[in-house]
C-alpha cells in the first residue's frame, strides 16, 4: 500500500501565526473549556483546559510561496485552531480526522484546483488519496471538513512512499 503523510502546519509558520495570522490579525489565545477543536499543529483534537487560538491560515498561499506557483483566485484563507504555545507536533503518522465525512481537494503544480470528492468516513481515506495521486497532474491534496470547508491538513505528492 502506498503511504501518504498528513502534513501539519509547519513549526516556523505556527510561530508566525501565533503572533499575526494570515489575515494580519493578532492571535488571541484562550482556554478551551470543552475540548474537541481540531488542532492543525499536532493533528489531534484539543483536550479541555488546553490553551488554543483560532487563526486565519492560507495553506495554498504558503505552499505557493515555497514552490513558486501562482494560485491566483484559488488562494484562500480560513480559520484553523492551533495550540497557543509551541507543541510537539503529531504523535504518529496516522491520517487524522478521518472519523467523519471529508472532502479531498486536488491541486496542480501551478496551484489550480483539479477537482475533488467527498469521502465517506467508512470508505477510508487511503483509496481517495491513491485515486487523487493516480493523476500525474496532482501535486497536492487538501483534506477539508465537509460542513464548513475548513482546511484540516495537506498531503503532497513527494509524501508518497
The grid coordinates of residue 49 equal 483546559
Q: What is the pLDDT of residues 67-106, one digit of tens each?
A: 999 999 999 999 999 999 999 999 988 889 988 899 999 9
Q: What is the pLDDT of residues 126-137, one digit of tens each?
A: 899 999 999 999
The grid coordinates of residue 92 equal 504518529
Return the beta strands (E) in the chain as ranges. Answer: 30-31, 38-39, 44-45, 51-57, 78-83, 102-108, 113-119, 138-145, 151-156
- pLDDT (0 to 100) of residue 161: 54
H or E element in which residue 46 lies: none
49, pLDDT greater than 90 = yes
1, pLDDT greater than 50 = no
Query: What pTM does this model have?
Result: 0.91
Residues of the chain with pLDDT > 70, as a percent, come to 97
Query: What is the average per-residue pLDDT within 4-12?
Result: 93
Residues 106, 132: contact at Cβ < 8 Å? Answer: yes
Domain edges within the chain: 11-83, 102-159
160, pLDDT greater than 70 = no
Alpha helices, DSSP H only, in the chain? 11-17, 59-67, 125-134
Query: What is the average per-residue pLDDT within 100-116?
Result: 94
Cα 43 from Cα 149, distance rounded (Å) = 17
Average pLDDT along the chain: 92
Provide the β-strand partners of residue 56.
79
Residues 144, 102: contact at Cβ < 8 Å? Answer: yes
Amino acid at each position: 500500500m502506498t503511504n501518504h503523510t498528513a502534513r501539519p502546519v509547519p513549526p516556523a509558520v505556527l510561530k508566525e501565526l501565533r503572533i499575526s495570522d494570515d489575515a494580519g490579525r493578532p492571535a488571541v489565545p484562550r482556554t478551551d473549556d470543552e475540548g474537541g477543536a481540531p488542532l492543525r499543529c499536532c493533528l489531534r483534537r484539543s483536550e479541555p483546559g488546553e490553551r488554543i487560538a483560532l487563526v486565519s491560515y492560507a495553506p495554498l498561499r504558503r505552499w505557493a510561496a515555497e514552490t513558486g506557483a501562482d494560485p491566483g483566485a484559488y488562494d484562500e484563507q480560513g480559520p484553523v485552531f492551533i495550540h497557543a504555545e509551541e507543541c510537539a507536533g503529531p504523535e504518529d503518522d496516522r491520517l487524522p480526522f478521518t472519523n467523519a465525512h471529508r472532502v479531498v481537494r486536488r491541486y496542480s503544480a501551478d496551484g489550480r484546483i483539479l477537482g475533488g470528492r467527498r469521502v465517506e468516513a467508512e470508505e477510508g481515506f487511503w483509496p481517495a488519496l491513491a485515486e487523487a495521486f493516480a493523476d500525474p497532474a496532482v501535486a497536492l491534496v487538501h483534506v477539508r471538513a465537509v460542513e464548513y470547508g475548513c482546511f484540516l491538513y495537506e498531503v503532497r505528492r513527494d509524501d508518497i512512499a
